[in-house]
A and B are shown apart, each in its own frame.
Chain A
């Protein structure tokens, strides 16, 4: 909410290109957005599994005509927003725009280009959602280490599946690729699991991830840096963290 109220913008360059009705590739540290006439027609990020990976995850073969038009469209649209979210993560270098560049996917996806403003709004919403669930971005890039459930504590079937694949080595992005799920979905579920105490929260913020490491599945997304350095949420902070205590109280009350 606060970010939106302050008129936060994910990428001023994207909005400017949209106003210009530009066609080409917006190349950023963590991925590329392909614009056609100012709209986002395709997005790619090494973190986010592409539509082909998502479609074949359940042993389905898109090329055998077993996928309906509805499913194909939804899958491509989901993959586009997923890749855009990571591509728009804060990078270190300036973004570049290659006028005229188009993405060379041979089987053109059956998805209508998305207005840049929609991408902006959704990316902001997703950042806020992650921080509402559990404001510790360190869990996004760290290997997922499950913790034993409290007596009577339950998880959803999709979370159970995720925990079953968390071997203490895989990062959320690597789990996304392994399970063929959108990377943001996995990030969000891991934050939910961390908030529930079912996954460890690393004590230190993740060190900056070098770009080379990203192609091997580390997650580049980092939320807006917080002023006080992150402390171990499970340990003792020098000063009481009122927000955390409130969250704890609310969570405990929700379980009464």
Chain B
């Protein structure tokens, strides 16, 4: 059992190449917690903006009639990976974990696996 602060701390210390992480409410776009980031990566702005990414995908799936749930969304930049993991669970209505990774140092498969583990520990 972990609170959000320890979960986010774990995300940035355990996951290689992590630049910052945020726990985001995707209805309002508010970051409930952030860690890392800095002047190059404003995580509260990233949180609000990526909310639109998630909403657009959820809407598209409705339009396509897909009955599945989104596990994660990967955005690949020239030098970074941005990973969005939608949280499941009774209390996780509309939350996602957002993780920015340095592409040079990160192992994507490992990062996805570890993010999944952190979600489980958060026990939402």
Interface residues of A (CB under 8 A from B): 55, 58, 60, 67-71, 73-75, 77-78, 81, 110, 121-122, 125-126, 129, 152, 154-158, 182, 184-185, 188-189
Contact = CB atoms under 8 A, between A and B. Distances in A.
25 contacts: A55-B91, A60-B90, A69-B1, A69-B3, A70-B7, A70-B122, A71-B90, A71-B91, A71-B123, A71-B124, A74-B4, A74-B32, A75-B91, A81-B28, A110-B3, A122-B30, A125-B29, A125-B48, A126-B28, A154-B59, A154-B62, A154-B63, A156-B55, A188-B27, A188-B28
A116 to B, nearest CB: 16
A73 to B, nearest CB: 5
Given A68-B1, A156-B58, A189-B27, 9 more contacts: A60-B90, A68-B124, A70-B7, A71-B92, A73-B4, A74-B4, A126-B30, A154-B63, A188-B27
B73 interface: no
A188 B93 CA distance: 16
Looking at A67, A70, A78, A81, which has the most chain B CB atoms within 10 Å of its CB?
A70
B95 interface: yes
Interface residues of B, number: 29
A158 B95 CA distance: 13
B32 A70 contact: no
A71 B123 CA distance: 7
Contacts, number: 77
B87 to A, nearest CB: 10
Contacts of B29: 125, 129
B5 to A, nearest CB: 8
A45 to B, nearest CB: 16
Given A70-B4, A75-B91, A182 B28 contact: yes
A155 B27 CA distance: 14
A72 to B, nearest CB: 9
A70 B25 CA distance: 14
B7 to A, nearest CB: 7
9 residue pairs, one from A and one from B, having the closest CB atoms:
A68-B123, A71-B91, A154-B62, A70-B122, A185-B27, A71-B124, A73-B3, A70-B124, A69-B3
A221 B122 CA distance: 34
Chain A interface, DSSP helix/strand/loop, else mixed? helix
Interface of B: 1-4, 7, 23, 25, 27-30, 32, 44, 48, 55, 58-59, 62-63, 89-95, 122-124
Looking at A77, A152, A188, which has the most chain B CB atoms within 10 Å of its CB?
A77
B40 to A, nearest CB: 19
A60 to B, nearest CB: 7
A107 to B, nearest CB: 16
A73 B95 CA distance: 13
B3 to A, nearest CB: 5
